[in-house]
Chain A
């Protein structure tokens, strides 16, 4: 094995290790998504197909009631698309890190990127714990562990739907994993402003159709955080009150 290949392998392993503590959250979320697919009325083969091909829990859960109610196909796909719109923002945020990679690699890393893996990557970038080189291998490590965990748990949920105790609220582990990921980022004021604005808009816009509220909230939060950032930069250095 060449030195370069072994360096890539090390980066991949470090990525796998970086996502490890979050995997209970991914497992619980995948498990409950799998159960919901079957209890919602999909047959086992279709539920497995969906989990493997779509690999987006929130879009799958948004589409499910529409599938069962026999909604028009375009409405179902549009709902999935709009639920997934936040990934366009994630994709834009990741672009600078992978711009020099070949397109196949960018396509693969993009497809396997989720809320968990994207946030884990950005957190590492913020902390400075990303490797200098082979960031794509590091991210591939993060994404592969997350994918395997999620698929195994979804399959478990699909096959064992009637045995998984849904009243325990296991999927809340997924929410808590997101809390654990995002909490440490709230150490600067613009991030707090952005999070509060995003949360308020998400609550107000919750009744919007097609799960549009989430995307609106993300955009509003990012705009508010940026304004707070600009205002802070203007207010702090050298201004009399800021001293």
Chain B
């Protein structure tokens, strides 16, 4: 087995990772600032938040490590918590309430299911 990356090599890796954050986050804000993307692309980008977050949230709920297969059952505490949070949102837009209610449902499901 290889040794863990440490010392100067780790410093270089961290600088590389920091650059990867900076370059991706500022890409269109800096280099692409003068580009005209066209109305259709700009309209499409309105859907960027909802699509990206769905792609982050759903695997986190259904495929949570060490799990490697889909857990669609109602015994999945994360699914219970997310459904509870979703129900709360149908009823109220209060975000703190949504977090509290979702975490409460998740914790109960984790402890008792």
Contact = CB atoms under 8 A, between A and B. Distances in A.
B and A form one assembly: yes
Contacts of B89: 179-180, 183-184
Contact of B37 (A55, A58, A92, A181): A92
Interface residues of B, number: 74
A94 to B, nearest CB: 6
A50 interface: yes
A231 interface: no
B6 to A, nearest CB: 8
A199 interface: yes
Nearest to A224: B51
Given A73-B13, A184-B89, A203-B62, A22 B21 contact: no
B42 A183 contact: no
Contact of A96 (B20, B30, B42): B42
B57 interface: yes
Contact of B1 (A69, A115, A178): A69
Interface in B12-39: 12-30, 32-33, 35, 37
B25 A91 contact: yes
B32 A198 contact: no
A226 B50 CA distance: 12
A107 B81 CA distance: 37
Interface in A147-188: 168-169, 172-173, 175-186
Q: Is the interface of B mostly helix, strand, loop or mixed?
A: helix
A67 B10 contact: yes
B99 A176 contact: yes
A55 B33 CA distance: 23
Contacts of B82: 175-176, 179
Contact of B45 (A76, A81, A89, A182): A89
- Size bracket of the A interface: 35 or more
Interface centre among B18, B93, B110 (most CB of A within 10 A): B18
A73 B19 CA distance: 14
A9 interface: no
Contact of B51 (A95, A177, A225): A225
B28 A94 contact: yes
B99 A222 contact: no
B47 A222 contact: yes
Contact of A203 (B3, B58, B98): B58
Contacts of B60: 175
A186 B50 contact: yes
A87 B25 contact: yes
Contact of B20 (A50, A69, A84, A194): A84
11 contacts: A53-B15, A59-B17, A68-B4, A73-B9, A76-B13, A92-B32, A94-B28, A184-B93, A202-B59, A217-B52, A217-B54
Interface of B: 1-5, 9-30, 32-33, 35, 37, 40-63, 70, 77-78, 81-82, 85-86, 89, 93-96, 98-99, 102-103, 106-107, 110
- A-B CB proximity, top 5 nearest: A70-B2, A221-B51, A110-B26, A217-B55, A77-B16
